[in-house]
Structure formats: C-alpha cells, structure tokens
Amino acid sequence: MKTRTVIAFQSPLGAPVEIIKHTFSPHGGKPVKRISFVAGLHGDELEGVALCHRLIRHLQSLKETEPEAFRGEIHIYPAANPLALATSTRLWPFFSVDMNRQMGDGTDGSLPSQTATALLEDLKSGSDLVVDFHASNLHLLELPQIRILEEFRRKLVPLATLCNMDLIWVHPSSGVFEATLGYNLNRVKIPTLVVETGICLRVHRDFQEQIFQGMLHLLRHTRILVPSGPAPRVKPPRLLQPSQVALAQARQAGLFLAEVKAGDTVPRGARLGELIDPVGGQVLEAVQAPCAGLVFTLRLHPLTYPGAPLARLAKEESDPP
C-alpha cells in the first residue's frame, strides 16, 4: 500500500492538515480499472470512515496472502475533510462551509473551496469508478442505500445493484446537487455511487458488514479484485422511484417514541409510534404508517416540530396509490 498526500495546508496551531490517499496497485501490468473510495466529506459521518478502515485492513491482508488477486487499482481517501472530522462537525469548522457543496464551477477561492477542487481533480485523474460514503443527519437513521439522480440512472443503477444495499433511490435532478462531488464526477462520465447509511456520529455494525460485503462484491464483479474462494452473496436491492416513497411527518411539536425499527415491513395504518407532550403528559398523536411498506428511514432524535419527518416507507407494490 502506498500513501500519498493529496493536499496539505498549514493550520494556525502547528502541524499541517492533510488529505491522505492510500493506493493498492495491480499485481503487474496495467490496472483493468481504477476505483476510489471516499469518506468523511461531512465530518460527523463516521460510517464511511470506519468502512474505509475495514477495506484497508482487508486489502493489506490480501496483498500479503494473494497479491495476484489485485488486477485493478484501488484508492482509498478515508478522511476527505480532516478538520471537520477532528471536530465531528458536518461543516468545515471556522468557515462553516459544506465541503460537499464546493465542487465544480463557481468556487470562491477560499481554503475549503481550494481543497475541494484539489480532491475533485485528484479523483478525476485517478478513477474510473468512485464510491462516496455518507451517513444520515443527526435525526434520521437510514437503511443502507444508494441515491441516484435521474439523469445518471442508466449507468449507475446496474453498478448500485452490485453493492448489497437495501434500496436504490432514484431522485429527480435538482440544482442543489450541482456542487456535490457525486454530481461533478458523474457529469464528466466517472460513475460515482453515493452511499447513504446509518445516522451521523455513530457506526452501525450490521450495516458496516452489509456494505463491506457489497464493496467486495463490487470489486470482484468489476474484476479489480479476483481472489480465490466464493464471491460474497449480496441481496437484490429495491429500486425506488419518488412516487414509491411515503413520508410520515409530525403534525405538531412533541417527543416521538418509535414502536418500529428501521427494516420492519408494516401494513398500512400500523402504529409507527406515538408523539407525546412530555411536559403536559398527554399523547398527542398515534403515528400511523401512511402505506404498507418497508420502514427505511426512522427518526431517532425524538424532538419534533410540525412537519418533522418521522419515518419514510418504501411502498409495497400491492399498496393502492
């Protein structure tokens, strides 16, 4: 494994801050394909950081025992926003800037913007395929999923299907995505899968295992890695259009106490939980499933305001519109 610094900048208080890239090269000859894994663009999303660690350890051990298994080139960027990771914040501290909204045209020359550009250019020059790991926000737990913009679906859905996800969610395109890493790489025809899983500031062991197996399967299917032994088994994901996603929202302020788990399949009208008034002592709402389906997003941060998302369901095919 070779380690290189993509960009380094001086911090006011000492050692420089660096974005690191680890590379596993093919066992001789040209790489059949080059893949990059990126984590930690949002500094409070630790799922991808832990996944990169798992991948690095696995690949290091395979390099010792079966070096001929490496046919492609694998790059891992385990901490793409080191200052934000060091402070466990989504945004780049001091600038309060979202590094995943600094990519592509219209950058402003600030340090976060220069760093985002350096990362994007490095990925463009060294990748034929990219996986960008994200976790959810502070409030909602997500089952492992890949989110795809409509305009890139033809190329990305077949690749996403290899990754052992619960869901592939196809979104309509929107201007808000145009400064993201995923959009800018897909736009220049480097297929980029944006994984969303878990909840921020946590690492979910079962999801880690599921996605790790998915990444090994992706590496094998693309022939970047051809180890001996059986291929990992992966499950087929559900492919979701926007019309197949139903949202349960809080009608008022309160405390949401869930009675289901993410991953449960529920009938229409099933109790998802209740919204209580913790001060007055009343139950404000019995929260019901808006359709029959799979609970793939669930609110874990219980405080709500009117309109707060409580759960998202992937509608059963048989559920009437």
Query: Is 196:147 a contact under the CB 8 Å cutoff?
Result: yes
Query: Is 54:62 a contact under the CB 8 Å cutoff?
Result: no
Query: Does the footprint of Zn ion cover residue 139 (CB under 5 A)?
Result: no
What are the C-alpha distances in Å from 31 to residues 37, 72, 126, 249? 16, 4, 11, 49
Q: Which stretch binds Zn ion (CB under 5 A): 44-52, 108-116, 181-189, 235-243?
A: 44-52
We find the least distance from the C-beta atom of residue 76 to Zn ion, in angstroms, to be 17
Q: Measured between alpha carbons, how far is 4 from 310 in angstroms, rounded to an integer?
A: 43
Report the site for Zn ion in 224-263 (rule: CB under 5 A). none
Q: Which stretch binds Zn ion (CB under 5 A): 8-16, 132-140, 292-300, 309-317?
A: 132-140
- Return the axis-axis angle of helices 47-65 and 205-221, rounded to nearest 10°: 50
Q: Measured between alpha carbons, how far is 299 from 199 in angstroms, rounded to an integer?
A: 10
We find the least distance from the C-beta atom of residue 136 to Zn ion, in angstroms, to be 8
Q: Which stretch binds Zn ion (CB under 5 A): 49-57, 126-134, 146-154, 244-252?
A: 126-134
Rank residues 99 and 284 by Cβ distance to Zn ion and give the closer one.
99
Q: Is the dihedral of CA 222, 241, 167, 255 positive or negative?
A: positive
The pair of structure tokens assigned to 310 is 């409580």
Q: Which stretch binds Zn ion (CB under 5 A): 42-50, 146-154, 174-182, 296-304?
A: 42-50
Q: Which stretch binds Zn ion (CB under 5 A): 129-137, 222-230, 251-259, 299-307?
A: 129-137
We find the least distance from the C-beta atom of residue 85 to Zn ion, in angstroms, to be 12
We find the least distance from the C-beta atom of residue 210 to Zn ion, in angstroms, to be 19
Q: Measured between alpha carbons, how far is 48 from 54 in angstroms, rounded to an integer?
A: 10
Q: What is the x/- site pattern for Zn ion, positions 274-303, by CB under 5 A? A: ------------------------------
Query: Is 159:97 a contact under the CB 8 Å cutoff?
Result: no
Give phi and psi for 193, each to the nearest 5.
-100, 125
Rank residues 19 and 59 by Cβ distance to Zn ion and give the closer one.
19
We find the least distance from the C-beta atom of residue 135 to Zn ion, in angstroms, to be 6
Query: Does the footprint of Zn ion cover residue 147 (CB under 5 A)?
Result: no
Q: Which stretch binds Zn ion (CB under 5 A): 8-16, 24-32, 130-138, 305-313?
A: 130-138
Query: Does the footprint of Zn ion cover residue 134 (CB under 5 A)?
Result: yes
Rank residues 42 and 147 by Cβ distance to Zn ion and give the closer one.
42
Query: Does the footprint of Zn ion cover residue 42 (CB under 5 A)?
Result: yes
* One-letter identity of residue 18: E
We find the least distance from the C-beta atom of residue 246 to Zn ion, in angstroms, to be 24
Kindly compute the dihedral angle of the four CA atoms of residues 113, 114, 115, 116, in this order, to the nearest 10 degrees. Answer: 50
We find the least distance from the C-beta atom of residue 265 to Zn ion, in angstroms, to be 27
- What contacts 103, CB < 8 A, 6 or more positions away? 116, 117, 120, 179, 180, 181, 183, 184
Tell me which residues touch Zn ion (CB under 5 A).
42, 45, 134
